Structure 1
Amino acid sequence: MKENLRKRAIEVLDANFQEGGFTIPSKGLYPFQWKWDSGFIAIGFAHYDVEKAKTEIHSLLDAQWENGFIPHIVFHSDNDSYFPGPDFHQSERHPLSSKKYRSTGMTQPPVTGFVLQEMYRIAEDKQDMLAFVKDHIDKVYANHVYFYENRDPHNEGLVYIYHNWESGTDNSPVWDDIWSTMNPPEYTFERRDTTHVDASQRPTKREYDHYLYLIDIAKEHNYDDARIAELSPFLVQDPLFNAMLIKSNEALLELYKLIGGNGDKEKTLQQWQKMSIRNFNNKLFDSELGAYVHYDLRNGKPIRFVSSSSFSPLFANIPDQERAEILVKTMMERFGGEGKYLCASFDPTNERFNPKKYWRGPVWINMNWVLYYGLKNYRFDEIAERVRQDSIALIERDGFFEYFDCRKDTGESQRTGYGGNNFSWSAALLLDLLKEG
């Protein structure tokens, strides 16, 4: 069964790899290259086709802007099956945007640093992979410089996101209270996602109005970060986003030490790490909830909900052992009950939880992968193994989907996963989790 799953995962990835040297997340639904998807996809490729893994990261970094920014979608081709596309985003408004590729003017969690390290870990030919890392690491470092210089207005070592799509957890209930502070216009547009996926599993039309309005504000100011920080009604310090940055800092530090001769960059990375980890723990940990939470920078207050993002700091070695134990206790009490797969994307004990709707409750394989390695960092090996086994079981039973119901019994006789089918990062990270067995 394990070998059959592995074979099918490889088929999914190979089918989604495009002639332009990038991999789409899912046919029809997502026809372009997504930033954090590409990172996870490269980890999967590294297990059986190193050249594709390297090509994936090279093509993503090739679309980097002159200021170090890496966009969340690179529009490699003209394709009208996705909205909003390049004509809506108009990345060319930013004077330092890529002249080679059209893209969005927003980003996604900065996973590329630790992805390079994972590729090195997995590679059999270490010398070859280190040469690749050496050729590309400075671009990833430049991306981190961009974040600390442009997305940290209070010099805290905590960077902001200005759009929910930058979080990766697109329509999480965490954002609901921010939407209630806004009253965007009603946009007229044709949704493309709901022609591929049941509308009940996707964000609503009114939610999309909010999403488009935030892009319009950024566009109006030519994607200038200082103006966005001043004016955007959505300005959040996200624990997942910042944990991925801190983990990638750590990875870059270790890779630069391997390469040698980059003392200045190592020193800067160490300074970032010290400040980022200290303020992450001081500002984003909610002792009453026993979890890390988001912080609403625009309105100056924490957003007090527990989500799978709340546990991502384990992956980046942010909490001490005592706090890690508190986190895991919270996770098991709220998310790990009988009849549940770990780990739902939003608190199953909260009234906003929805087990079928995108980031409002379903299980995501990429978050489980992050959680698996995070739990291993702190020697929670038994729970880590449950996360690994639950991830494998969901794909084995429900298919290579984008997201999955966390309930073991949904009352459905014909059960499948939700969202896009033959989903690339589900296949890629399954390959890695199968290797861990």
Structure 2
Amino acid sequence: MTAEHQRLAANASKPVPLEKWGPYVSERQWGTVREDYSPYGDAWNYFPFDHAHCRAYKWGEDGLAGISDIQQNLCFAVALWNGKDPILKERLFGLKNGEGNHGEDVKELYYYLDNLPTHYYMEYLYKYPQQAFPYDLLRQENRKRSRQEVEYELLDTGLFDNNQYFDVQVTYAKRNSQDVFIRIDITNRYNKAADITVLPTLWFYNRQSNQKLAEPPMISAVDKTSVKATHKRLGEYYLYFQHANDALFTNNVTNTEIVQGIPNEDLFTKDAFHQAIINGSNIQELRRKKSGTKFSPVYKMRIAAGDTQTIYCRLCNEPQKQPFAEGFEYLFTIRKEEADEYYADILPKGMDKDMALIQRQAIAGLLWSKQYYHFDVERWLNTSDGITPVSQGKKTGRNHEWSHLKNQDIISMPDKWEYPWYAAWDLAFQCISMAVADPTFAKHQLLLLMREWYMKPDGQLPAYEWNFSDVNPPVHAWAAMQVYEIEKKQKGGVGDIIFLKKAFQKLLLNFTWWINRKDPNGNNIFEGGFLGLDNIGVFNRSYHFLNEVELEQADGTSWMGTYALDMMDMALEIAVHDPSFEDTATKFFEHFVLIAESLNEHHLWNEEDKFYYDVLVRKGADNLPLRIKSIVGLTSLYAVSTIDKKKFEKLKDFSKRYKWFERYRLQNKKFWPNEKSEDGKQILLSLVPKDKLVHLLRYLLDEAEFLSPGGIRALSKYHEEHPYSLTIDGNSYTIRYDPGDSTSDIFGGNSNWRGPVWIPINYLIIQSLRKYGEFYGESIQVEYPTGSGVQLNLCQVADELTGRVISLFHKDKDGSRRYNGEYSWFYQRPENEQLVLFYEYFNGDNGRGLGAAHQTGWTALVAELISEYGNKPEKCAPHLLPETNTKSDAILKA
């Protein structure tokens, strides 16, 4: 057992299986719903970036490469100044919604290099220009670009063309859970000496409950190289630092003069360091102050060309006579070796080095993206932030029906800048990759979202803070089984049945909510509206039409079929250990059959096109199929499972009921979705009958439709030349294939399901095809790609699709990663060639990374795909070239 595994085993016994200190600080708190106290619900404008340095937050903190305790009482992060910027670089900059031509977007270069689940070792890299940071230029250029143009990025400004920047690498190494050593390495990449000011910053979260403490939190000077932070609940902590040019104190409170035009009580406000360092204002007063709620030693450095200078700090809960005793640096080496040992143990052996790097950085990004999330909706609705009075509009506005929601937890975020809030189905995908590194935390996260302070009393799960009532696809039963199986494999076949039972019981409530709320006609055809897919439809699918029009959704129905099947799988697994779950498994099996019947026997399957479509049901008129070829029609592929004969033999009641139901339906010529294997040892349960499966695969594997060089597109390329249009209630709507960033402003235009490749969708499709392939074997072979004349079985197709997805990340023969697109020149430099990003989605034509650049959440699934793919890097190679086409000899050989 590695040292990290020993620490994880100790944490697993805790009620909350987490370390006291970790990377729990957000990378953007401004512009969030939590900080929006306006009556009109415009979070981006109510708390803009320009206020972030001088206005105290109400619900959390943000910082650069930051850490905090588990309740975020005390935070540490790094601030920088290049001698030219108008503000200190304390947090990451990005465009708010409305400033970007494709919605909000972070405009920085930063990377999660390494991390352990217990955070005993962490590495973070930030690239800081030596010229003035181009805040205004990035805003102006993006604002004037149309939706048809690409975004203007930091690398487009020219500031990095000649390496005129600093690499700032922050490394954390713990001696124990409450003793953290910090190393800040600043490397000058330019060919001339350059100046930089570095402020390692310690501060207290300005939380409301602090005001109730008899003794308010305080950071006080001890001597020239240490301070003591005292908090009634947290206890005492000491920050030790090497000799600095200055040591400054202020308070983490709002500069009311700037924000509200009200004179400050004193000069010790949140932004006092900005004024002191940049303008020299009040610096003597800050030097004389010996306590406050925010503190920084100040290091002014001149770094020669190509050189590196290092700053060490130490944050611990006990006083130290020699905080930096001789040889203390060796702790970083020890923890790095422990990290290497840990990943060598959990990742596949003999892996191609670049694939191993991709896997490790994917997991590192997940671990860095844990965030303290604090939000009490009832208090938020009924109190003021001290700037805007409570309004009736806010009380009846966004999320007012979620007053029970009281969150104060460490949660795995999709992205700590672009999405610094949890999203229900994102979290489910994240937990699968998280389970490889820390299955206990993955299980905790899945169960957390189902707890009573998250789940609504009626069983609805919260979607995301912009609208908790939006509906995400119900993937939690599937994710719970995935996490269960991953841990079961790690533990030599012993699964956590208690976890499955806990999840199952709460998911019963959620399943019932879906049945009661999203099947209004009681015919097992479901709605759902949004379903997490933003602009996948020709119109906003959450829109309620006039004139008694209903949208019956192919994907809503398919998701529910998948949900029923996943619940059956869970119940069967539990029933092997606890027979009382056997009849519940039967319930979900029969419900699955009824949903499969509705999907296939009603109007969602279009016999002319051989495809599943959403349908508008109009009173007094014919039903209108929305003939859009998208993943809406392919979602049906996800619902596939097999039951082997051995399990039937163990579960007598289930077996008896199954056989009766089968006889009854077949004798009465009713739809029956199941097939027996030729040897009779397995039964396949699938929403898609064999003949329809073959039809769908023709579309799926056609490069003129869904198949791209980097995986499966969300919308068929067919709609590039054949856009789909319709008119409803006098409004005209059109959808066309967009391979890149969204050209639609639905949901702010900041994500696009109309053509790009999304990793979680590919992951689901690949998993499903592998299950089909294992059942059908050579009895189903399809053309891959469609029209090539090459016949493959479905397991081989799953391998091929996996290779295409991996090719987005894996280096080609020229050392380029496809997702870097036109920025490959930067990432082929020696100092950058091992930096891997995990974009939200990828261009459907050329594989360029799009959306959130660091959304390691669901994109981290590529690490799981690499594990399944094995040590076969040569399979990626044929798909790395953008000009790859259907007839390519390289593809056929692969």
TM-score (norm 2): 0.38
Residue in structure 2 matching 1:400, options 816, 838, 844: 838
CA distance in 2, matches of 1:269, 1:338: 34
Say if 1:344 and 1:406, in contact at 8 Å, map to a contact too. yes
1:270 paired residue number: 589
1:175 maps to 2:490 = no
Query: Displacement of 1:263 after TM fit?
Result: 3.7
What are the ranges of 5 or more consecutive residues in structure 1 without an aligned counterpart?
A: 76-84, 90-103, 180-210, 215-227, 410-415
1:412 paired residue number: none
1:132 paired residue number: 499
1:40 maps to 2:359 = no
Q: 1:210-268 CA deviation, whole Å, 9 max, x = no partner?
A: x7xx5xxxxxxxxxxxxx7x979885333333323222221221221222212442232
Query: Displacement of 1:337 after TM fit?
Result: 7.9
Residue type of the partner of 1:309? V
The correspondence of residues 6-405 of structure 1 with structure 2, limited to 5 A, is 6-19=359-372, 20-62=409-451, 63-73=454-464, 75=465, 85=466, 89=467, 104-123=468-487, 124-125=490-491, 127=494, 129-161=496-528, 163-164=529-530, 167-172=531-536, 174-176=537-539, 214=543, 235-260=550-575, 261-282=580-601, 283-297=603-617, 300-316=623-639, 317-333=686-702, 335=704, 340-350=709-719, 351=723, 352-356=736-740, 357=742, 358-379=752-773, 380-396=794-810, 397=817, 398=819, 399-405=837-843
Say if 1:353 and 1:361, in contact at 8 Å, map to a contact too. yes
CA distance in 2, matches of 1:383, 1:257: 29
SS across alignment from 1:421: coil
Counterparts in 2 of 1:237 and 1:273: CA distance versus 1, 3 Å? same
Counterparts in 2 of 1:30 and 1:61: CA distance versus 1, 3 Å? same
1:183 paired residue number: none
Query: Displacement of 1:307 after TM fit?
Result: 0.6
Say if 1:308 and 1:345, in contact at 8 Å, map to a contact too. yes
1:82 paired residue number: none
CA distance in 1, matches of 2:425, 2:549: 21
Counterparts in 2 of 1:232 and 1:371: CA distance versus 1, 3 Å? farther
Counterparts in 2 of 1:408 and 1:105: CA distance versus 1, 3 Å? closer
Residue type of the partner of 1:377? K
Residue type of the partner of 2:457? E
SS across alignment from 1:333: coil
2:864 paired residue number: 432
Q: What RMSD in Å do the two structures reach over aligned CA positions?
A: 2.4
Pick the structure with greater CA Rg: 2
CA distance in 1, matches of 2:469, 2:707: 43
Counterparts in 2 of 1:381 and 1:302: CA distance versus 1, 3 Å? same
Say if 1:12 and 1:427, in contact at 8 Å, map to a contact too. no
1:79 paired residue number: none
Residue type of the partner of 2:556? F
CA distance in 1, matches of 2:556, 2:441: 26
SS across alignment from 2:615: strand
SS across alignment from 2:809: helix
Query: Displacement of 1:319 after TM fit?
Result: 0.9
Relative to its length, the structure with more strand (as a share) is 2
CA distance in 2, matches of 1:338, 1:302: 24
Larger relative contact order (CA 8 Å, sep ≥ 6): 1
TM-score (norm 1): 0.75
Counterparts in 2 of 1:334 and 1:252: CA distance versus 1, 3 Å? same
What are the ranges of 5 or more consecutive residues in structure 2 without an aligned counterpart?
A: 1-353, 373-408, 640-685, 724-735, 743-751, 774-793, 811-816, 820-836, 870-894
CA distance in 2, matches of 1:362, 1:391: 12
Counterparts in 2 of 1:259 and 1:419: CA distance versus 1, 3 Å? same
Say if 2:606 and 2:613, in contact at 8 Å, map to a contact too. yes
Query: Displacement of 1:336 after TM fit?
Result: 5.7
Counterparts in 2 of 1:337 and 1:130: CA distance versus 1, 3 Å? closer
Query: Displacement of 1:115 after TM fit?
Result: 0.9
Residue type of the partner of 2:738? N
Counterparts in 2 of 1:338 and 1:323: CA distance versus 1, 3 Å? closer
Residue type of the partner of 1:54? K
Which has the larger displacement, 233-242 or 254-263?
233-242
Counterparts in 2 of 1:403 and 1:337: CA distance versus 1, 3 Å? closer
Counterparts in 2 of 1:67 and 1:348: CA distance versus 1, 3 Å? same
2:389 paired residue number: none
Query: Displacement of 1:18 after TM fit?
Result: 1.8
Counterparts in 2 of 1:284 and 1:132: CA distance versus 1, 3 Å? same
Counterparts in 2 of 1:315 and 1:236: CA distance versus 1, 3 Å? same
1:219 paired residue number: none
Say if 2:426 and 2:858, in contact at 8 Å, map to a contact too. no
Query: Displacement of 1:120 after TM fit?
Result: 1.5
Instruction: Kindly tell me the number of residue pairs found equivalent between the two proteins.
Output: 352
2:747 paired residue number: none
CA distance in 1, matches of 2:715, 2:706: 14
Query: Displacement of 1:297 after TM fit?
Result: 4.2
Instruction: Write out the 4+ residue segments of structure 1 that deviate beyond 6 Å after TM superposition.
Output: 230-234
Q: 1:81-136 CA deviation, whole Å, 9 max, x = no partner?
A: xxxx4xxx5xxxxxxxxxxxxxx112210001111111121112354522211122
Query: Displacement of 1:335 after TM fit?
Result: 4.7
Percent identity for Structure 1 against Structure 2: 21
Counterparts in 2 of 1:378 and 1:258: CA distance versus 1, 3 Å? closer
SS across alignment from 1:372: helix
Query: Displacement of 1:148 after TM fit?
Result: 1.2
Q: 1:336-385 CA deviation, whole Å, 9 max, x = no partner?
A: 68874331111101131010121111110011011111222322123222
Residue type of the partner of 1:313? S
Counterparts in 2 of 1:422 and 1:335: CA distance versus 1, 3 Å? farther
Say if 1:335 and 1:343, in contact at 8 Å, map to a contact too. no
Counterparts in 2 of 1:37 and 1:298: CA distance versus 1, 3 Å? farther
Residue type of the partner of 2:635? S
CA distance in 1, matches of 2:703, 2:548: 31
Residue type of the partner of 2:698? K
Q: 1:18-63 CA deviation, whole Å, 9 max, x = no partner?
A: 2323111112211111011011011111111112211221221121
Relative to its length, the structure with more helix (as a share) is 1
